[in-house]
Chain A
Amino acid sequence: MASTVGVIFTSINDDHVPELTKVRSKGSIPFGGRYRVVDFVLSNMVNSGITTVGMLTKNNYQSLMDHLGSGKEWDLARKEGGLILLPPYSDESEILYRDRLEALKGAMAFLKKAKEDFVVVADSDAVYKLDYSKIVDAHAANNADITMVYHEHDCYDSVSYLTFDTDGDKIKSADVNIKSRGVNKHYINVFVARTSYLLSLLHTAISRGLTSFSKDIILPAIKTGRVYGYRLDGYYTDIDSLQSYYKSNMDMLDKKIRQEIFGGRDVYTKINDAPPAKITETAKVSNSLLHDGCLIEGTVENCILFRNVKVGKGAHIKNCIIMSENVIGENCNLSYVVSDKDSSVSSGVTLAGCEKMPYFINKGTRI
């Protein structure tokens, strides 16, 4: 594959999931019993042979930095390239950015320094498996200016999005934030460009005072006929609300989806050592994911349990997502609960939400 550098937005549309981003940026939302959602895009990059990745951060990025560390768990602690955090207020931008275009201006110094010919720019809040080198190859073969990745799915309650019409591989037209019924080609916020081309776009944006990536960059570029699409087949989900967070996690209980996302490759993440999960004589576990460190003495049904979750005797938890270091007391009864890290529920408490509106417990809460 041609040499490629990666840029990841870790903090776009954080406000769409206020519950989970109160204490973190979007990229570091815990996912799937073990991961932070950024692990999926970052693992896609590493597994595509990318060894230099710039991470655009904004607010609340302490938890993200704690997760990524030096990047060694992704094999990105390197002398040449590796993982590079790009906080706001770089030498190119003096403001706290509001959207992708302003954010990308903060990556200009990083991109100028990069020796790689191509750049993959991606969001951090989606779960899918994709070999970016194939997009780069298609991009080069088409001699495109921009290649945008899309996924065909039904319109759901997304807050902002971009849909395409294509003519072969070419993108003919695009709609911004217009909801139309049925299956559409949704841009998944992943594009490939030549590094030099992206830099020239950013220079233009600065000199003309442009602010919107979709309206000021993408729509005019499509008119030139040099913007191509690349279809992502297979599973795709992104986290755009607590409801979609809940559904995306529960998708991981589906064997086929699990095999697609985790099979045949590694999804890298920060390693925390915990002993294997312990299931005692009084426990019953069905259709659930359990991370190392769990101690289960009660009944667990259709749940995703992160590291070191304790479920007491006689407790019954059903359809729940319980993040790491939670303690669920004896004889509790929980259904449709999403509990953020380090929380605890005292013995005998009953809590219930529903699929469309899970009951959310803030990080570090004692109930």
Chain B
Amino acid sequence: MLRKKECVAMLLAGGQGSRLYALTSNIAKPAVSFGAKYRIIDFPLSNCINSGIDTVGVLTQYQPLVLNEYVGNGQPWDLDRTFGGVHILSPYEAKKDTSWYKGTANAIYQNIRFMKMYDPEYVLILSGDHIYKMDYDKMLAAHKEAGAACTIACMQVPLAEASRFGILNTNPDGTIYEFEEKPKQPKSDLASMGIYIFTASKLFEYLERDEKDPNSEKDFGKNVLPAMLNAGEKMYSYRFEGYWKDVGTITSLLEANMDLLGTVPNFELRDNDRVIHSRSPLAPPAYVTGSVSNSLIANGCDVEGSVINSVIGTDCVIEKGAVVEDSVLMGNIVVKAGAKVNYSIIDEDVTIGAKSVVGAAKTEASKVVGKTSGITVLGRGISVRDGGKVAAGEIVDKDI
């Protein structure tokens, strides 16, 4: 029997995420913890299954161990399918041209055979470092209706920030006449979200063409999309109105976590229609006593100290007299008695010794000039000794 999938998703999860510093020393960016019990990749994977797409290739390259184990057979997202489902696609050895993924386009090119196994009409390209909820099915419907070769999801950004993004210059009917990657003088405020739907035959054609071009950097934004435009292919923009955040930097990662707080948060996770699935850990419910205000607390926590304006991940222990404020604790962290954690991001498996001081109050710390704008970062698995001190804005990746 000939079987096919209408749309196959390819998730680019190979990025190093170097602007997350210690948080990505040993794991790929999509595997970074987010929102107390999620990892970043939960968002695109959940969006896929919630949009009816059940075939997803996850392209990994940089430090894939945690990511591979996390994705596993895809069961937490209902992506364990007999035909389709989620597949980890690492660079592989071939008879000729064995190589690492050399760019976003080359990574997809190297997996053309994977996509062709499902004989798809359309291919959805996603990146693994954005926090958002989106119905890709609506975007696909728009792509089909427009009869486009490629549809690019975009959203309005403040014009002042537009030069950080790929910018789409569009006609009133939504067709794109120009694509500029990080322009110094942006002509529009429509930023590409790095989400593309291609008509599969067009994608394969242009990937093969790009692969033969020795001058190409093998990048979608820089090479493939401009090439398609130049060849006169129909490129269409799809406006997304909703929460979307690139969590590629320490400040944006902290902000995105804080966007979950409040009775009416900027980004709502409690949504029965579009549940964000994750590999929910088997911890008992959180035990909470002491004072907790405006915070998220995941299962398995034991909170006897104070927690204010913070996101506390699974299995964290906040002992009596400890204070955590304006911070993100990713998971399995012990904050011992009398310790103070302020305006910090603490990676998994960290122990913070009694009476130690990590970071400084947000009002003070945010004046600090540096790579993280005053946010203190503790890397995975480290310990801070009793009475230890980590100054605001420091990035620490070994015991202190």
Contact = CB atoms under 8 A, between A and B. Distances in A.
A297 B263 contact: yes
A305 interface: yes
B270 A32 contact: no
Interface string A28-49: 0000111000000000000000
Nearest to A313: B263
A305 B297 CA distance: 13
B386 to A, nearest CB: 22
Nearest to B77: A273
B293 interface: yes
B263 A292 contact: no
B284 interface: yes
A283 B280 contact: no
Contacts of B75: 72
Contacts of B262: 280
Interface in A235-288: 252-253, 255, 258, 262, 266-269, 271-281, 283-288
A120 interface: no
A292 B282 contact: no
A295 interface: yes
Contacts of A255: 287, 302
Interface residues of A, number: 41
A267 B300 CA distance: 12
A88 interface: no
A293 interface: yes
Given A258-B284, A290-B286, A273 B277 contact: yes
Contacts, number: 109
B167 interface: no
A280 B307 CA distance: 11
Contact of A280 (B289, B294, B298): B294
A34 B284 contact: yes
A337 interface: no
B295 A279 contact: yes
B133 interface: no
A289 interface: yes
A194 interface: no
A272 B284 CA distance: 13
A275 B276 contact: yes
B280 A273 contact: yes
B35 interface: yes
Contacts of A276: 35-37, 269, 296-299, 311-313
A262 B312 CA distance: 20
A304 to B, nearest CB: 8
B285 A275 contact: no
B269 A275 contact: yes
Interface in B35-70: 35-37
B293 A289 contact: no
Contacts of B76: 271, 273
What DSSP secondary structure best describes chain B's contact surface? Answer: loop
Contacts of B270: 274-275, 278, 293, 295, 308
Interface centre among A268, A281, A284, A297 (most CB of B within 10 A): A281
Contacts of A289: 284-288
A291 interface: yes
Contacts of B261: 278
Nearest to B294: A281
Given A253-B287, A276-B37, A285-B292, A268 B282 contact: yes
A253 B284 CA distance: 12
Nearest to A301: B289
Contacts of A279: 288, 292-297
B285 A291 contact: yes
B226 to A, nearest CB: 40
B215 to A, nearest CB: 46
B269 A277 contact: no
B285 A34 contact: yes
Interface residues of B, number: 38
A271 B285 CA distance: 13
Contacts of A32: 284-285
Interface string A286-322: 1111111101010000001110100000000000000
A177 B138 CA distance: 66
A287 B288 CA distance: 6
Interface string B18-47: 000000000000000001110000000000
Most B C-beta atoms less than 10 A away, residue of A283, A290, A292: A292
A266 B288 contact: no
B294 A290 contact: no
A286 B298 CA distance: 16
A283 B292 contact: yes
Contacts of B302: 255
Contacts of B290: 286
Nearest to B283: A262
B171 interface: no
B126 to A, nearest CB: 20
B282 A275 contact: no
A277 B297 contact: yes
Interface in B247-294: 260-263, 269-270, 275-278, 280, 282-294
A285 B291 CA distance: 7
A281 B278 contact: no
B129 to A, nearest CB: 20
Contacts of B297: 276-277, 279, 290
Given A275-B270, A291-B299, A297-B263, A266 B282 contact: yes
B391 to A, nearest CB: 29
Nearest to A275: B269
A271 to B, nearest CB: 5
A275 B284 contact: no
A33 B285 contact: yes
Contacts of B299: 34, 276, 291-292
Contacts of B278: 273
Instruction: Name the residue in B75, B76, B292, B298 with the highest tally of chain A Cβ atoms < 10 Å from its Cβ.
Output: B292
Interface of B: 35-37, 75-76, 260-263, 269-270, 275-278, 280, 282-299, 302, 311-313
Given A33-B284, A34-B284, A273-B275, 10 more contacts: A262-B283, A271-B282, A272-B280, A274-B270, A275-B35, A276-B299, A279-B292, A290-B297, A291-B285, A295-B270
Per CB-CB distance, the 8 closest pairs between chain A and chain B, nearest first, are A275-B269, A33-B285, A276-B36, A276-B298, A291-B285, A289-B285, A276-B296, A285-B288
